[in-house]
Structure formats: C-alpha cells, structure tokens
Amino acid sequence: MSIKTSQNYSPNFSTRRRNPEKIKYIVYHYTGMRSESKAIKRLTDDRAKVSCHYFIKRNGQIILMVPELYEAWHAGKSKWKKDISLNKNSIGVEITNKGHDYGYQSYSKKQILSLVKLTKYLIKKYKIKSSNILGHSDIAFERKKDPGEKFPWKHLAIKNIGIWHKIEKRKLKKIRKLTISDFESNMFIKYLNKIS
C-alpha cells in the first residue's frame, strides 16, 4: 500500500536516519497561520527551524516534506508516557487550518479523507497503537491547543484511528458542569510541576 503525495522538501530535519522500529507515534498539528502558502513557506524556510513529515492542504492534497526515516522538527518540547522530545520517535502531520489566532475553521472533508488514508498507511507500516495517535496539545498541553476542538477525533476512532471515550452524551454534559475545589486545583498543579 502506498499513498499518493507530492514533494516539497524542508531543509529542517535531523540528518541521522532513524530506526523504523523506534517510530511509535503520529502527532497531528494545525498550521495556525493566515494562509496555506505562508504555512508551506515557513515549513520549508531553513531559518524557521520547524518542519513536518506530511502536510495536508485544504483540498486534501498530501505533501511529503521530510522522509519518514528522518526526524522532522514538529513536536518541540514534548512528553507522552515515559517519552520526552517526541520528534525522535514520531511522524508529524500538519493540517492546514488558520487556528485559534486567525479564525479557527472546521477541517474540510477532503482533508479528513486524506488524513484517514495517510494515517491507516502509517499505522500499518509502523504498527502504531491506537493510544499513540496524538494531537500536539496532548504532548505539549501547557503551550499548544492544536489540532483543537473542531478536530474530528470521534470520526477517526470510528475508522479505527486513535481512541474516543464511551461516555453517554447526557452524562458527559453533567460531568462538564462539575467544578473542582481550590485544593484539587493546587494538587493538580503540584502534580504537573512534579512530572515536568
């Protein structure tokens, strides 16, 4: 199985080849820029020091920017489970979206269709677990919001990509109205400081 892509290579990657067995995460991002062309320009600018493996345009076109066996610079300071600095063992997928600062949009159907195809290909190729399909906000929650609340995690879970909760809608609404005490809030902050 292969995926149809075009190429627009980024100079921003680590030149040492990775062991394919070390690739165990897929991380989704949104571009968070005013336009798709500006996002592509930034990801291919050697001064920007950022990149991704794959870029998905609004029309669904997939662009390969960094070959999978090289480390793209997409995750930054990051952590998941016992792993830190997830660039070294993840595939980064940027999806065009203006993001919260420039008019956050719904993702297009064509983008999601391409994302499903690409992700299924990567899951099969690298034997990636459902619990290791992540958003940038999962691995860098103190500083990132992407891919955001409009990202269709539930739809992806139906397609056997990632995970989604099984809480009834009625119960979920009730849970969302709950508040935590100052004591619980302070304990949570202490815990976060301990694990950082």
147 preceded by a cis bond (ω within 30 of 0): yes
Does residue 94 have an active-site annotation? yes
- Residue 134: its H or E element: strand 133-135
- C-alpha dist (Å) from residue 186 to 42, 69, 79, 144, 180: 39, 42, 22, 22, 10
80 — alpha (psi -120 to 50), left (phi > 0) or beta?
beta
The token duo for 159 is: 């397609």
Q: Which of 21, 71, 94, 168 is catalytic?
A: 94
Handedness of CA 156, 100, 98, 139 (dihedral sign): negative
Active site residues: 94
